[in-house]
Amino acid sequence: MATPLPKFCNFPLIQTKLEKQVSVLMVGNAERREQINQPTAKILPYVRPYRREIIYTTIAVLIAVGINLYLPYLMRLVIDGLTDQALDHAQLFTLLLRYLLFGLVAVIFSRLLRKIPLKLSHKAEYHLRKDIFAHLTRLDSSYFRTQRTGDLMTRLSSDINMVRDAIGQGILQGVRTIVVLVFALIVMLLTDRQLALIVYSLYIPMVIIFFLILRIMRRRQKELQEQVSELSSFSQESFSGIRCLKGFALEERRNQQFDGLNQGLIRKNMLMQATRQSLWPFMAFWFGVGMILILNVGGRRIIAGELTLGTLTQFIQYLLYMQWPLLALSWTSSLYQRGVVSWSRVRSMLDAKPNLTDPDIPITEPLSHHDIEFKEVSLEIDDRKLIDQLSLIIPTGTTLGVTGPTGCGKSLLTALTARLVDPTKGEITLGGVPLQKLPLQIIRKKMGCALQEPILFSKTLEHNLTFGLTKNEPDTLSWAIDAAHLTNEIEGFPEGLQTLLGERGVTLSGGQRQRTAIARAIARRPEILILDDVLSAVDTQTEAAIMQKLKPIMDQRTTLFISHRISTLRYADRIIVIENGRITQQGTHQELLAQSGYYAELDLQQNLQRKMEGKA
């Protein structure tokens, strides 16, 4: 059974050759996290805490709609009173003053019903984005191996924004539209049954066509969002690999590919807009038809003396008042469709489950020692056996050198040690306790790691060096910088520790990046130190200077030291050679040199290489 590679949480930036992931453990609200981890979780956990705001919005809508339905009735009294000459100046003034006061109250509550749901939606957006980020940092690298960074960024930005708009404007316009339609139809029915039935007869075909258009909108919105993600991923990969792109002089080809994706985005956007905008003229035309029918039937009845001019005016005002909510319904429905599509994309992230979790009953007692033992460990990934029946004991305080051909499983040994991945078979113990019975945070807090290709953040050098520390410790930082042989370089930077690094530390040389990773790892003063080919980008003189300072540090803790250089491996207490996932040789530097095999051959090759370089 294949075991996917997991993430590395609360551990300073492990990036093996088989995985490249940095994660930071962030914990959101416990109750909300439990809800979103359930497969049946919906958007409600992010809206339910704001029940009071929703109630206030509903009350504001009821009051605003009620007043707006009452105002045409006042207009009817004025028109019929003036037509019948039944109003004096005092009565007219009273009706007009009442109209003005109620209109002002309606404006106030209309303002409230816009403000409250929009504020609610931004709060929901904050918690949703926070929980998604925390959830993503919990996931294993097996998830990220199947996802594109640009797509994840699109979901964290534009998709969440669309969900926010669907919540805010959806609640605002949704509640308002329902209340307006229900109450307006009731009032119209009470005002004049015949004219109300005309409006009802227009609604049925309008609603049918309306929902047919919405189905098309949902499909096209999904295609549009996928195209946006495709464009974002393409841009992210282009900028991340700009050196490779320029090295092969592929700018023109890449621009043409981007132009094709961009044109596809425009086409899908235009299709979506064409579908969305078709709702407005359709509904406007339907209102025009309704107005003609009402004026025709109402006018005939006024001529026949069966209807007053005030009543017809009141009815027309109701129809006009319903026009905006119904037109807004097309816009709200568009927001809803986009929100549904975006929420489904967001939910796919929230539904992903980490493969590595803490045990149900973890062992939290302090460990008496830090011996690491591999008991017949095997590991398969994607149906490939990468570690095969490996048994090994690393006593506390031992420096273990690890070497072997490329792809033999050296880096996987560190991943298994830090429980970045669980073995398919066998067991690994730390301090005599199986790793699967220890909390992940405890395991990884005991470790510091530096790799051949470390990830550095686009922050200051100081930020990167102190990334694994919980508080500012200037003395520790200076000690780590000196041990990693970085002091001279930092003093040469105009901004010193405040030097801003480019993305992934691109402004530093390969050797400087590796030494920054070494300093970051040892600054934590971990019980277990993992150094994975960290000196491959430095010259032999710098290597020797670094190893002279690292040796006392390595002697004080358990160290896994992976390297292809014999000149660094000789500092290890014991050395193992891994080939095809198995330990084929082990012993001290001198013992392995005396044996025939990979280690002696590697030493011979490197000696010949040094001699040839000396002659050159």
What was the pLDDT predicted at 330? 65
Query: Residue 435: inside a domain, yes or no?
Result: no
Residue 606 predicted with pLDDT over 50 = yes
494-531 tens-digit pLDDT: 888 888 887 777 778 888 888 888 999 999 889 999 99
207-255 tens-digit pLDDT: 777 777 777 877 787 788 788 878 888 887 787 777 777 777 778 888 8
Confidence label for 428 from pLDDT (cuts 50, 70 and 90): very high
If one counts the domains in the chain, the total is 1
For residue 596, the tally of other CB atoms under 10 A from its CB is 8
150-154, 372-376, 422-426, 551-555: range with lowest mean pLDDT: 150-154
Amino acid at 217: M
Query: Residue 333: inside a domain, yes or no?
Result: yes
Confidence label for 17 from pLDDT (cuts 50, 70 and 90): very low
What was the pLDDT predicted at 7? 36
Nearest to 417 by CA among 425, 408, 406, 427: 427
Residue 323 predicted with pLDDT over 50 = yes
Range of the domain at 215: 30-221+276-350
Residue 23 predicted with pLDDT over 60 = no
Would you say 198 and 299 are in contact if contact means Cβ atoms under 8 Å apart?
no
Mean pLDDT taken over the chain:
82
- For residues 264 and 231, what is the distance between their CA atoms, to the nearest angstrom? 9
Would you say 13 and 447 are in contact if contact means Cβ atoms under 8 Å apart?
no
β-pairing, 558-562 with 528-532? parallel
325-337 tens-digit pLDDT: 766 666 677 777 7
Nearest to 168 by CA among 54, 48, 35: 54
What was the pLDDT predicted at 172? 67
What was the pLDDT predicted at 433? 92
What was the pLDDT predicted at 398? 92
310: domain CATH number is 1.20.1560.10
> What residues contact 207, with CB distance under 8 A and at least 6 apart?
none
Tokens coding 31: 């109750």
Confidence label for 138 from pLDDT (cuts 50, 70 and 90): confident
Name the more confident of 274 and 526. 526
34-90 tens-digit pLDDT: 444 443 346 777 887 888 888 888 888 889 889 988 999 999 899 988 888 888 889
Residue 125 predicted with pLDDT over 80 = yes
Query: Residue 579: inside a domain, yes or no?
Result: no
